[in-house]
Amino acid sequence: MPAEQRPQTGLEQVPLTIHSANGDHHFTVEVARTPAQQERGLMFVRSLTGDRGMIFPYNPAQDVAFWMKNTLIPLDMVFIRSDGTIIRITTAKPLDETPVPSGEPVAAVLEIAAGRAAELGIKTGDIAEWPH
């Protein structure tokens, strides 16, 4: 089976907005709700456009760690508190299985194309908003 060109098909897609000092940034993200969907994440995806991504919600908020097993593209991981505040942004390397911890309980982790957060001026303290 060839590598995928976008996130998983069949997952719910929702709008997500990040409110930053320099304006609002809009994305369409697929929601990885189930453990199986979260385990697969963006594995085998070969490209991700700048306005797309995947969100991993947690209810209740919890400490999590992500890695890049079978993930072929670099990603920005955006860790989000229950109130929507971004607490951490890190860029993960393809195929790196080193855990990337949230550092505190989070309500969600957003994955977008690597470098996109810096390109848009998204920073810790900004607010992410999506239907959940």
Residue pLDDT, tens place only, 74-117: 999 999 999 999 999 999 999 999 999 999 999 999 999 999 99
pTM for this structure?
Answer: 0.92
Q: Kindly state whether residue 5 falls inside one of the protein's structural domains.
A: no
Q: Kindly state whether residue 7 falls inside one of the protein's structural domains.
A: no
CATH number at residue 115: 2.60.120.1140
Q: Do the Cβ atoms of 110 and 55 come closer than 8 Å? A: yes
Q: Kindly state whether residue 79 falls inside one of the protein's structural domains.
A: yes
Q: Kindly state whether residue 94 falls inside one of the protein's structural domains.
A: yes
CA nearest to 43, candidates 6, 84, 10, 85: 6
Tell me if residue 110 falls in helix, strand or coil.
strand
Q: Do the Cβ atoms of 25 and 18 come closer than 8 Å? A: yes
What domain range includes position 87?
13-129
**Token output for 52:** 């797309």
pLDDT single digits (tens) 24-76: 999 999 999 999 999 999 999 999 999 999 999 999 999 999 999 999 999 99
Q: Kindly state whether residue 6 falls inside one of the protein's structural domains.
A: no
The total of other beta-carbon atoms located within 10 Å of residue 122's CB is 23
What is the number of domains present in the chain?
Answer: 1
